[in-house]
Amino acid sequence: FGGTDPAGLASKAVAALEEIDFKGRVTMVRGLGAEPIDVSGSKLNLQVLSNVKNMPALMVKADLALSSAGRTITELSCIGVPTLCLAQNAKELTHTHNSVNNGVIMLGLGSLVSVETLAAHLSELIQNNALRQTLHERALGATAGRSNASIVRRILRAVGLS
């Protein structure tokens, strides 16, 4: 959720995953400016990372992602990762790349999205394989001709992940 996560969206994401009793593996990446998050009481299979050197290597392993509405969305789309998006602020709501045409379900301003609403969307995306596949295909299709897509593919090849 960005380098600093000013709206505390990571905590909301953890609460939503706990609400649906998610049993899969969760990797949370915290930006260098983000406050530490206390997940000691969480029952999730959760790994919290900071200062990640190779984000594409993590992204390519993801079945789905939760993200704020910045450049990370484009990177996830280039790899074809279906994404639930929560904007950190009103400016992020103006970003046009956060759409289902790009494999992204935009939920709006994160501070206004309840844990229950996020949990319901997470549950649907996790359980609905056809929806995830459609978002995957749309993401790849939307970014196929873009230069950043070829850059991400080259990075993945360079680190042996493609």
Give per-residue pLDDT as tens, 86-97: 999 999 988 888
Most confident of 12-16, 67-71, 153-157: 12-16
Terminal CA-to-CA distance of the chain, rounded, Å?
Answer: 26
Strand pairing partners for 85? 67, 106
Strand pairing partners for 44? none
pLDDT of 3 above 70: yes
- Report which residue type is found at 134: T
- Flag the least confident range among 74-78, 107-111, 121-125: 74-78
pLDDT of residue 114: 98
Q: How far, rounded to the nearest angstrom, does the alpha carbon of residue 116 sit from its chain's CA centroid?
A: 18
CA distance 125 to 73: 17
- Flag the least confident range among 23-27, 52-56, 149-153: 149-153
* Percent of the chain whose pLDDT exceeds 90: 62
Bigger pLDDT: 99 or 162? Answer: 99
* Predicted confidence band of residue 147 (pLDDT cuts 50, 70, 90): low
CA distance 67 to 118: 12
Average pLDDT in the chain? 90
- State both tokens at 84: 């639930």
pLDDT of residue 150: 67
* Predicted confidence band of residue 6 (pLDDT cuts 50, 70, 90): very high
Residue listed under structure tokens 């070829």? 150
Q: Give the closest residue to 62 by CA, choosing from 121, 103, 119.
A: 103
* Predicted confidence band of residue 157 (pLDDT cuts 50, 70, 90): confident
In sequence order, which residues have a C-beta less than 8 Å from that of residue 127 and are 6 or more positions away?
A: none
Phi (first) and psi of residue 2, to 5 degrees = 85, 175
CA distance 43 to 3: 25
